[in-house]
Copies of this chain bind each other. A is one copy, B any other.
Amino acid sequence: MAGAVSSKGCQKIRGSQIRDLLDAKRYVLFDCDGVIWNGETAVPGAPEVVSLLKQQGKGVFFVTNNCTRPRENYVQKFSRLGFNDVVQEEIFSSAYCSAVYLRDVAKVQGKVFVIGGNGVYKELRDAGVPFVEEETDVAGGSIYDCPLDSEVRAVLVGYDEKFTFLKLAKACCYLRNAECLFLATDPDPWHPLRGGRVTPGSGSLTAALETATERKATVIGKPSRFMFECIASQFGVDPAQSLMIGDRLETDILFGANCGLDTMLTLTGVSQMDEAEGYKDSDAPDKKDFVPDYVVDTIADFLQAQGED
């Protein structure tokens, strides 16, 4: 069986095709990095696109696996990069959604032990979810004799540049209790840094803990469905009227497919057209959810689309 035949997927659209698609949608979900900005630089035209969609009365949401910042820092970043009408309630980070999950879904009865940074701690605090205060001095402690908090009922793992063996070992001890929840903010294995360097992602730290505990974490971030459920429950969003726009096939596009959304790949980030075509032409059935419905060079093409007939 050579060469799957499919007429759907990877449709490169422009002009009136983009306009017709957007006319049919009431909600637009954006991934952030690689879609509306790259690091500290806005994708040219992206601020105007966001403003335009909002002026048209659409619901606009930002869905990011990045758990390092609290949402208020995102609001500041949006403003700094020229996005002047984005509010905190439109931002769904994996740190915020993890806090919501613990409070509203798991209804955790006890404290959360955190492997993570400021973004995670702040969102937990804002959500009123109790957690073990981050130790500022663990130099003297060891897993043989350190205190363990008997009120811990969940372990939450995110990106943590202060990750240590002792944190990992404590989390292992807490997770010996089968009643203790095991959550991860996101599955990202690594992130690129400047100069060819890389840094391990939340998924890497989670893998250490999964191996040591012989348990699997519940993952909150994309491509898991929960971040969309979080948006849907707060804003009554209908999947059929929603478009997910992202730059990573294995994360954003799969997330959209998992949630029943139309999906659009933008080529300003990680994944490129040949990878999308490769998944489309693949015989493997589990690859079809990586294929975006639509492709644009950049979301700035949305602006041009409005001027055409």
A residues near B (Cβ < 8 Å) are: 142-144, 148, 160-166, 168-169, 172-173, 176, 189-190, 193-194, 196-201, 203-214
- A211–B161 CA distance with the chains assembled, in angstroms: 16
Cβ–Cβ contact B163 & A165, under 8 A: yes
What residues on B are CB-neighbors of A209 within 8 Å?
A: 200, 204
- A307–B163 CA distance with the chains assembled, in angstroms: 57
What residues on B are CB-neighbors of A199 within 8 Å?
A: 143, 169, 172
What residues on B are CB-neighbors of A207 within 8 Å?
A: 207-208, 210-211
The smallest C-beta distance from A197 to any residue of chain B, in angstroms, reads: 5
Cβ–Cβ contact B197 & A173, under 8 A: yes
Cβ–Cβ contact A212 & B189, under 8 A: yes
Partner of A193, one of B144, B168, B198: B144
What residues on B are CB-neighbors of A204 within 8 Å?
A: 168, 172, 208-209, 211-212
What residues on B are CB-neighbors of A193 within 8 Å?
A: 143-144
- A200–B212 CA distance with the chains assembled, in angstroms: 5
Going nearest first, the 10 A-B pairs with the smallest beta carbon separation are A204-B212, A208-B208, A200-B212, A207-B211, A163-B165, A207-B207, A204-B211, A190-B212, A204-B208, A189-B211
Q: With A208-B205, A208-B208 as given contacts, are A165 and B165 in contact (CB-CB < 8 Å)? A: no
What residues on B are CB-neighbors of A164 within 8 Å?
A: 163-165
What residues on B are CB-neighbors of A208 within 8 Å?
A: 200, 204-205, 207-208
Instruction: Closest B residue to A195 by CB, please name it.
Output: B144
Cβ–Cβ contact A161 & B190, under 8 A: no
Q: Which of A173, A190, A199, A209 has the most CB of B within 10 A?
A: A199
Partner of A196, one of B144, B176, B203: B176
- A266–B48 CA distance with the chains assembled, in angstroms: 72
- Please name 13 further chain A to chain B contacts, defined as beta carbons within 8 Å, in addition to the given A143-B199, A173-B198, sorted by A numbering: A142-B161, A143-B193, A144-B194, A160-B165, A161-B166, A172-B198, A176-B198, A189-B211, A190-B212, A190-B213, A206-B211, A207-B207, A207-B211
